Structure 1
Amino acid sequence: MPSSSAESARPALQATRHSPLEDVQGVLTGCLFVALAILIFRESRLLLGGSAGLAFLLHYLGGWRLGTVLFAVNLPFYVFAYRAMGRSFTLKTFCAVGVLSLYTEMLPGLIAFERIDPVFAAIMAGLLAGIGILILIRHGASLGGLGVLAIYLQKTRGWRAGTVQMAGDCVILALGLLVVSPLQVALSILAAGALNLVIAINHRPERYFGA
Structure 2
Amino acid sequence: MKTPVGFWSSSPERHSLLEDIQGVAAGSMLAALGVTLLATAQLMVGGTAGLGFLLRYSTGISFGAAFFILNLPFYWLAYRRLGLPFTVKTFAAVALTAILTSILPQLITVSSVEPITAAVFGGLLMGCGMLVLFRHRASLGGFGILALYLQDRFGWRAGFVQLGLDCVVLILSFFVASPAVIACSVLAAVTLNLTLAINHRADRYIVR
Alignment TM class, shorter chain as reference: 0.7 to 0.9
Which runs of structure 2 are paired with 1:63-78 in the superposition (5 Å)? Answer: 63-78=60-75
Q: Which residue in 2 is equivalent to 1:198?
A: 195
- Equivalent AA in structure 2 for residue 34 of structure 1: A
Q: Which residue of 1 aligns with 2:28?
A: 31
Matched, 1:170 2:167: yes
Q: Provide the residue aligned with 1:48 in structure 2.
A: 45
> Residues 157 and 197 of structure 2 are in contact (CA less than 8 Å); yes or no, is this contact kept in structure 1?
no
1:180-195 equivalent positions in 2, closer than 5 A: 180-195=177-192
Name the CA distance, whole Å, in 1 between partners of 2:95 and 2:181: 28
Could you list the per-position Cα deviations for residues 120-146 of structure 1 after superposition, in whole angstroms to 9, with x for gaps in the alignment? 110000110111000001111001102
Paired with 1:93 and 1:135, the residues of 2 have a C-alpha distance of 12
Instruction: Indicate yes or no: 2:15 matched with 1:18.
Output: yes
Q: Which residue of 2 aligns with 1:11?
A: none
How much does 1:196 deviate? 1.6
1:84 aligns with 2:104: no
Report the structure, 1 or 2, having the larger helix content: 1
Change (3 A) 1:153 1:137: closer
Unaligned 5+ segments in structure 2 are: 1-10
Q: 1:102 aligns with which of 99, 103, 106?
A: 99
Shifted more, 166-175 versus 130-139: the winner is 166-175
CA deviations on 1:136-193 (whole Å, 9 max, x unpaired) are: 011110011023235557889x7x6867644432221011111111111111111111
Q: Is the 8 A contact 1:84 1:155 kept in 2?
A: no
- Would the alpha carbon gap of residues 199 and 22 (structure 1) be closer, same or farther in structure 2, given more than 3 Å must change? same
Report deviation, 1:209: 5.7
1:151–1:29 CA distance, 2 compared to 1 (3 A): closer
1:152–1:20 distance in 2 versus 1, CA, 3 Å: closer
TM-score scaled to structure 2, two decimals?
A: 0.85
TM superposition shift of 1:114 = 2.3
Match of 2:134 among 133, 137, 141: 137
Native 8 Å contact 1:51 1:70 kept in 2: yes
Q: Summarize deviations over 1:9-43 as a string: whole Å, max 9, x none.
A: xxxxx723111111111111110000001011111
Letter in 1 for 2:181: Q
Q: Which residue of 2 aligns with 1:62?
A: 59
Check whether the contact 1:84–1:151 (CA below 8 A) recurs between aligned residues. Answer: no
Alpha-carbon deviation of 1:199?
1.5
**Structure 1 CA distance for aligned equivalents of residues 199 and 152 of structure 2:** 24
Q: What SS does the aligned partner of 1:73 have?
A: helix
Q: 1:29 to 1:152 in 2, by over 3 A?
A: closer
Q: Relative to 1, partners in 2 of residues 1:139 and 1:129: Cα closer, same or farther, differing over 3 Å?
A: same
Q: Note the C-alpha offset of 1:115.
A: 2.6
